[in-house]
């Protein structure tokens, strides 16, 4: 079946983009060319690698993905929070091309270059806290988590690592043990790394605790189950990503930092999903008055090029012996050049302001939907990191039972109608809005109209 959808209201926004910033569906989803590619893929790509929406992408610009069949999708996922400045952002593309012409690789640990140093300067300037900071650059989020743990162990001389319930930290052999969900991340891949402890978190919608109460519960666990003197680090996402965009209660994070400082524990902010302007501040920790010892960056830092960083207190970062940190591709020059352009774009285009605009527009639209559909239990988040938790009204758990069926049906409907909408949540009960900051208000209105239709279809079909 073929249907054609366009949104003329967005036409005015097309002038500065190489792809019209509009939704357009011209084939069945997936279209014939995507379907053929999916067949080729089945023969050669591991079944362990899944794709949420199997449309093969030919081009992307701003907040729009174009597939090989000519369909255009409003991208509310940004490659899971990576293309924060927008797809193929002009200055990022130019910086990467220019750097590629100059040199593409030397390996910083063999012969260094300025771009790596500049990224470390920018991270020292923009991460929370007014004290001397240093960085190491690596390739991926999980690698940043791994290095954060190594650095904290070396500095403290302690063994244990603590994380929070509902956390997600990666897919490597250490980080899979740091995730809350065994399935699909750890099931069958054991034995898991030892000395990883999962403490209770702050999840105000479900636990009803104040920040002080939730922190007391977390600290009691760390004290009793781990013992502060064996604890090297506590790794925390200021707003949990894959877990469902839980915003902790006020005072929770500073109380944990205070306890960590008093007990010689390194507290690490995993800002891999929440950082780099996404939340309306450079780093989401700032919303909570939290000044972490170490900050982990990845995803949005280089506009789509692979780059990650551990940044933090100089004395902690310097505890490692020369040669203890690094890796062949860590701080690749092209990625670094792109990251410098990203930092410049955040300033030049007021992207913190744009993230705040997106929060206002999404909150208004989602509030209207919440008034219309009682399956929306809570709207939460900051900036371009917003989510709705879907519930089953009329069931137990104080009307808050997870509604994974609705999440899955709405996300599927949205994909079929040209809106790429990511799911999240420990129980698959959350729809998340993680767009690039190039997403216009007109595209927000259009995307929410599709979600409105999806919710209406759900209500109809369930009767």
Binding site residues, ligand PLZ, CB under 6 A: 80, 140-142, 145, 168-170, 237, 241-242, 270, 272-273, 298
What 263-266 contacts at long range (C-beta under 8 Å, 24+ apart), as own/partner pairs, is 263/228, 263/229, 263/231, 264/156, 264/228, 264/229, 265/156, 265/228, 265/231, 265/232, 265/233, 265/234, 266/151, 266/152, 266/155, 266/156, 266/232, 266/233, 266/234, 266/293, 266/294, 266/316
Q: How far apart are CA 237 and CA 285, in angstroms?
A: 9
Q: How far apart are CA 64 and CA 100, in angstroms?
A: 26
The nearer residue to ligand PLZ, 167 or 458, going by C-beta atoms, is: 167
State in angstroms the smallest separation of the CB of 237 from ligand PLZ: 5
The nearer residue to ligand PLZ, 153 or 166, going by C-beta atoms, is: 166
The nearer residue to ligand PLZ, 31 or 141, going by C-beta atoms, is: 141
Instruction: Assess contact for 200 and 191: CB atoms under 8 A.
Output: no
The nearer residue to ligand PLZ, 77 or 204, going by C-beta atoms, is: 77
State in angstroms the smallest separation of the CB of 107 from ligand PLZ: 21
State in angstroms the smallest separation of the CB of 278 from ligand PLZ: 11
The nearer residue to ligand PLZ, 13 or 336, going by C-beta atoms, is: 336
Query: Phi-psi bin for 131: left (phi > 0), alpha (psi -120 to 50), beta?
Result: beta
The nearer residue to ligand PLZ, 307 or 391, going by C-beta atoms, is: 307
Distances (CA, A) of 69 to 43, 54, 66, 430, 447: 21, 12, 8, 30, 21
- Using Cβ positions, the residue closest to ligand PLZ within the complex turns out to be 141
The nearer residue to ligand PLZ, 30 or 77, going by C-beta atoms, is: 77
Q: How far apart are CA 352 and CA 347, in angstroms?
A: 8
Tokens representing 447? 């995307």
State in angstroms the smallest separation of the CB of 374 from ligand PLZ: 30
Rounded (10°) CA dihedral 256, 259, 261, 265: -80
State in angstroms the smallest separation of the CB of 270 from ligand PLZ: 5
State in angstroms the smallest separation of the CB of 372 from ligand PLZ: 31
State in angstroms the smallest separation of the CB of 362 from ligand PLZ: 20
State in angstroms the smallest separation of the CB of 79 from ligand PLZ: 9
Indicate the SS3 state at residue 422.
strand
The nearer residue to ligand PLZ, 376 or 424, going by C-beta atoms, is: 424
The string of DSSP letters for 14-76 reads GTT-SS-SS-B--SSSS-HHHHHHHHHHHHHS-TTS--SS-PPEEEEEBTEEEETTS-EEEES
State in angstroms the smallest separation of the CB of 354 from ligand PLZ: 21
The nearer residue to ligand PLZ, 30 or 170, going by C-beta atoms, is: 170
Kindly state the DSSP code that residue 407 receives in the 8-state scheme. Answer: H
């Amino acid at each position: 079946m073929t249907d054609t959808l366009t949104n003329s209201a967005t036409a005015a926004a097309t002038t500065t983009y190489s792809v019209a910033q509009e939704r357009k569906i011209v084939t069945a989803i997936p279209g014939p060319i995507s379907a053929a590619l999916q067949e080729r893929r089945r023969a050669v790509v591991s079944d362990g690698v899944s794709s949420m929406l199997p449309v093969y992408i030919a081009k992307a610009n701003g907040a729009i993905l174009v597939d090989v069949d000519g369909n255009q999708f409003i991208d509310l996922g940004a490659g899971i929070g990576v293309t924060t400045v927008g797809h193929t952002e002009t200055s990022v593309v130019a910086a990467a091309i220019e750097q590629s012409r100059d040199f593409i690789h030397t390996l910083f640990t063999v012969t260094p270059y300025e771009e790596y140093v500049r990224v470390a300067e920018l991270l020292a300037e923009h991460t929370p806290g007014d004290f001397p900071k240093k960085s190491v650059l690596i390739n991926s989020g999980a690698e940043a988590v791994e290095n954060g743990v190594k650095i904290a162990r070396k500095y403290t001389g302690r063994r244990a690592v603590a994380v929070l319930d509902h956390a997600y930290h990666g897919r490597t052999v250490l980080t899979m043990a740091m995730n809350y969900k065994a399935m699909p991340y750890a099931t069958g891949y054991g034995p898991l790394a030892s000395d990883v402890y999962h403490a209770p978190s702050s999840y105000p919608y479900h636990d009803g605790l104040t920040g002080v109460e939730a922190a007391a519960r977390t600290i009691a666990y760390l004290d009793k189950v781990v013992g502060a003197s064996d604890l090297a680090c506590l790794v925390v996402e200021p707003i949990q990503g894959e877990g469902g965009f839980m915003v902790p209660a006020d005072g929770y994070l500073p109380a944990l930092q205070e306890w960590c400082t008093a007990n010689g524990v390194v507290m690490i902010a995993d800002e891999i999903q929440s950082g780099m302007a996404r939340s309306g501040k450079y780093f989401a920790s700032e919303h909570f008055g939290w000044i972490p010892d170490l900050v982990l960056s990845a995803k949005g830092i280089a506009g789509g090029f692979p780059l990650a960083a551990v940044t933090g207190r100089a004395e902690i970062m310097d505890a490692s012996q020369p040669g203890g940190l690094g890796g062949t591709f860590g701080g690749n020059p092209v990625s670094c050049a792109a990251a410098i352009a990203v930092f410049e774009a955040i300033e030049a285009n007021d992207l913190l302001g744009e993230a705040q605009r997106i929060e206002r527009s999404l909150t208004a639209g989602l509030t209207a939907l919440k008034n219309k559909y009682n399956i929306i239990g809570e709207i939460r988040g900051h900036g371009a990191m917003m989510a709705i938790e879907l519930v089953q009204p009329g069931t137990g758990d104080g009307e808050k039972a997870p509604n994974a069926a609705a999440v899955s049906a709405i996300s599927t409907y949205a994909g079929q109608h040209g809106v790429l909408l990511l799911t999240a949540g420990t129980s698959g009960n959350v729809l998340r809005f993680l767009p690039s900051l190039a997403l216009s208000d007109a595209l927000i209105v259009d995307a929410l109209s599709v979600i409105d239709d999806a919710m209406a279809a759900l209500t109809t079909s369930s009767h």
